Structure 1
Amino acid sequence: MLAGLIFATEDAEDRPDMLAATLPFGGMTLLEYQARLLIAAGVGHIMVAVGRVTPSLLGAVSRISRGDVAVDVVRSAEEASARAHPLCNLIVVADGLVSTDLAILTMAGETPDSLLVTSDANVAAAVERVDAARCWAGVAMISAERLTEMADMPREYDFQSTLLRLCVQEGARHVALPASALKAGHGVERSADALANRSNAVLAALANQRIGWADRYIFTPITRLALPWLVGKSVPNWAVILAGVVLGIGSLGLLGYGLTAWGMGVSLLSVACFSTGSLLSWLRGDDRRARWQEGAIIGLAGLAVLMAGGQAMMRGVGWPVMALAITVLIVAAIVERAPVRRRPWFGNAPSYLLLLFPFVAAGYIVPGIAAVLLYALTTLGIAVEALRQKP
């Protein structure tokens, strides 16, 4: 079992009436964002170590608890040890740490005891020195046994620092902080103004996680620009979803009316809305809506290809073009299910739409559908070869 331990004891530097963990971050509190990263890494139980309980902390814990994960507020190592399953491993997150899922997922795959470290003591990621050459970077993987050892020590000891020292004494393995995580804003921050600036950098890094070429060069730049604004203005999830739905229905209407180029263009705008909305929903803890929007992109792309083929058939091309369009859907569906590592140039729903759009705009629907089919078949062939090479 994998659990999480988040420290939330320090006051904000510029707001002494608030805990650093409850400062605004990405449209939520920093504590909620840290919990989102842990949940995405597979954590099923989260403990929040506190020195005092504030209304904003209780509100954040309550919102985290609405999901499928159990959340406990603990005031000491004794309480944490009593709450934790004796066989669990815990991902420890330092007080005020801002990170991305890359660092958390890196530590989730490690064995106890492991510490994420950095060799640069002058960066924000350097929480506390562990030896002459390295500093703790704010994330650790420990066993429940460490909490039991900590519980036997005097309560006057600092919980976070002493737990780190116990891991170091036990010869904890050092895991280097990925350079990409540091570039994305990994580090401790307890200032509200600085945290707001770092929030934009982390949100931009999250938007860059999609590796497909269509996302990387078209939709991710749109998301990277829109997401900080949406979060800053507290735009609700449903508003972005509604925009995507309206544009999607409009695109299908235009395709059905015979305005194929316009319909395909509007469908791309709908995909941009769903792509941004999916990440916004994920940030706010609504995984169900995030998955729904990812599915909506696939469904919209499939309908757009079918309706474009239908328009070509109505213009006298005949039924073979519909057979071609249906084949595209079948091959694309198999590609989506292939259990291989996705490469940037692999075909997916957004890339198929982008490839088809210039052909449709120029009036060459059939060659466009044929090009999409060739692209999907090439992707499928390479995926099959990758599966054959696995031992």
Structure 2
Amino acid sequence: MLAGLIFATEDAEDRSGTLAATLPFGGMTLLEYQVRLLIGAGAGQIMVAVARVTPALLGAVARAGKRGVPVDIVRSAEEAALKAHPLSRVLVLADSLVTTDPVMDRMAAEGAEALLVTTDPNSPAAIERLDMRDCWAGIARVPAHHLGAIARMPDDWDFQSALLRAAVEARAEHVQLTQTWERGGHMVDRSAERLASRSNAVLAALTERRTTWADRWIFTRLARLVLPKLVERNIPAIALAALGSLFGIGGLAAMAFDVDGGGLVAALLATALFATGGAMAALRGEDRRADLFEGLIGFLAAAAVLIAGWRESVSEWTATGAVLAVAAVLLHALSERSGARHRRWWGSPSAYLLILTPFAFADWLATGLGVIATYSFVTLVAAVETTREKA
């Protein structure tokens, strides 16, 4: 079992009397964001180590506890040792740590105890020196029995430092913090102003979850521009879903009435809104909602392609458009079912919409449908070959 232990004892640098863990971050508090990361890494129990309890902290813990994993406040190593399962592995997050899912996934992996470290003592992630070479970078994976050992120490020991020393003495593996992780937003900071800036960097990293070329170069860039402003104003993801649905339904209706170019433009706007909503849901740990946004993009693209094929067949009195549209949708569905990890150049629902739009404006729908059908076939072949290589 994996448990999480978050330290929340330090005050914010620029807000007197406010715990850094309760500072705003990404439309929630920093503590709630850390809980989201731990749940995403597989933690089945989370403890928050505190020196004092404030109303803001209680509110953050209560909201974090609604994610389906118990979140308990502990005031000492003794309380933590009592609450943690004796056979669990404990993923420890330093006070005021900001990080991202790839770092958490690496540190939550099976194996012996480990410490995330950096060799740069001036790094914003460097917290405490471990030896002549490495500084702790804010995450540790330790066995639960270390908590019991620290609980038996004199009270004047610092909980966090003692836990680190126990891991060092046990020869914990040192996992080096990479430049990619640091650029993605891994750091420790107790300033509300800097956390707001860092929140934007983490938001940008979250938009990279969609990897194909159309998403990376167009929809991801749009999401990166507007997402910080939406989060700052606490716009709910459901609002983006509603607006995207409005554009999507309008676009499909326009296509059904033979306004193909305008309808596809509306569908692209809906796709951009759904992509932004998915990134926002991912930030807040709402994985099911993020998957729903992805499903909406896929449904919208399939409906647009099928309507385009139907309109082409009706206007030309031939089955060519309909056959090409059905083939494109089925071939892409099969490539998704393969389970292969997407490559940058592979086809995606948003890519098909982008490709089809200029053909619609040029009144060459049959040609555009042929192009995306061929593209989806090539994507399926690549996905099958990738699956065979893994087997």
User: Could you tell me the TM-score, scaled by structure 2's length?
Assistant: 0.97
Q: Report how far residue 38 of structure 1 moved.
A: 1.3
Taking the aligned partners of 1:32 and 1:74, their CA distance within structure 2 comes to 16
**Counterpart position of 1:254:** 254
In 2, are the aligned partners of 1:22 and 1:29 still within 8 Å (CA)? yes
In 2, are the aligned partners of 1:328 and 1:373 still within 8 Å (CA)? yes
**Counterpart position of 2:365:** 365
**Counterpart position of 1:214:** 214
Q: Report how far residue 282 of structure 1 moved.
A: 2.5
State yes or no: 1:9 paired with 2:9.
Answer: yes
Pairing 1:329-368 to 2, within 5 Å after superposition: 329-368=329-368
Taking the aligned partners of 1:112 and 1:150, their CA distance within structure 2 comes to 19
User: What is the root-mean-square deviation in Å for CA atoms of aligned residues?
Assistant: 1.3
Q: Report how far residue 110 of structure 1 moved.
A: 4.7
**Counterpart position of 1:171:** 171
**Counterpart position of 2:24:** 24
- What code does the residue aligned with 2:76 have? S
Identify the range of structure 1 (188-197 vs 288-297) with the bigger mean alpha-carbon deviation.
288-297
2:175 is paired with a residue whose SS is strand
Taking the aligned partners of 1:66 and 1:389, their CA distance within structure 2 comes to 42
Flag structure 1 segments of 5+ consecutive residues without an equivalent: none
1:267 is paired with a residue whose SS is helix
Q: Report how far residue 285 of structure 1 moved.
A: 3.7
Q: Report how far residue 290 of structure 1 moved.
A: 2.0
Q: Report how far residue 295 of structure 1 moved.
A: 0.7
What are the Cα deviations for residues 222-256 of structure 1, in whole angstroms up to 9, with x where unaligned?
01001100011121222211111111111111111
State yes or no: 1:103 paired with 2:103.
Answer: yes
**Counterpart position of 1:298:** 298
- What code does the residue aligned with 2:390 have? K
State yes or no: 1:226 paired with 2:205.
Answer: no
Identify the range of structure 1 (234-243 vs 291-300) with the bigger mean alpha-carbon deviation.
234-243
Q: Report how far residue 317 of structure 1 moved.
A: 4.3
1:141 is paired with a residue whose SS is strand
State yes or no: 1:389 paired with 2:389.
Answer: yes
- What code does the residue aligned with 1:389 have? E
Taking the aligned partners of 2:179 and 2:389, their CA distance within structure 1 comes to 31
In 1, are the aligned partners of 2:118 and 2:135 still within 8 Å (CA)? yes
**Counterpart position of 1:35:** 35
Q: Report how far residue 155 of structure 1 moved.
A: 2.7
Taking the aligned partners of 2:25 and 2:386, their CA distance within structure 1 comes to 41
What are the Cα deviations for residues 66-111 of structure 1, in whole angstroms up to 9, with x where unaligned?
1121111111111111111122112111000111112111111252
**Counterpart position of 2:64:** 64
Taking the aligned partners of 1:148 and 1:358, their CA distance within structure 2 comes to 66
Taking the aligned partners of 2:216 and 2:300, their CA distance within structure 1 comes to 20
Q: Report how far residue 208 of structure 1 moved.
A: 2.3
Q: Report how far residue 204 of structure 1 moved.
A: 1.4
1:282 is paired with a residue whose SS is helix
- What code does the residue aligned with 1:142 have? V
In 2, are the aligned partners of 1:76 and 1:155 still within 8 Å (CA)? no
**Counterpart position of 2:318:** 318
Q: Report how far residue 337 of structure 1 moved.
A: 1.8
- What code does the residue aligned with 1:39 have? I
User: Could you tell me the TM-score, scaled by structure 1's length?
Assistant: 0.97
Q: Report how far residue 23 of structure 1 moved.
A: 0.5
What are the Cα deviations for residues 245-277 of structure 1, in whole angstroms up to 9, with x where unaligned?
111111111111110011111101000000001
Taking the aligned partners of 1:364 and 1:92, their CA distance within structure 2 comes to 58
Q: How many residues align?
A: 391
2:209 is paired with a residue whose SS is coil
- What code does the residue aligned with 2:24 have? P
Taking the aligned partners of 2:281 and 2:75, their CA distance within structure 1 comes to 31
What are the Cα deviations for residues 115-161 of structure 1, in whole angstroms up to 9, with x where unaligned?
11111000110011111011111011111122222222223211111
Taking the aligned partners of 1:181 and 1:350, their CA distance within structure 2 comes to 28
Taking the aligned partners of 2:101 and 2:286, their CA distance within structure 1 comes to 17
1:73 is paired with a residue whose SS is strand
**Counterpart position of 1:130:** 130
In 1, are the aligned partners of 2:243 and 2:270 still within 8 Å (CA)? yes
**Counterpart position of 1:286:** 286
In 1, are the aligned partners of 2:359 and 2:365 still within 8 Å (CA)? yes
Flag structure 2 segments of 5+ consecutive residues without an equivalent: none
State yes or no: 1:182 paired with 2:216.
Answer: no
Identity, % of aligned positions:
50
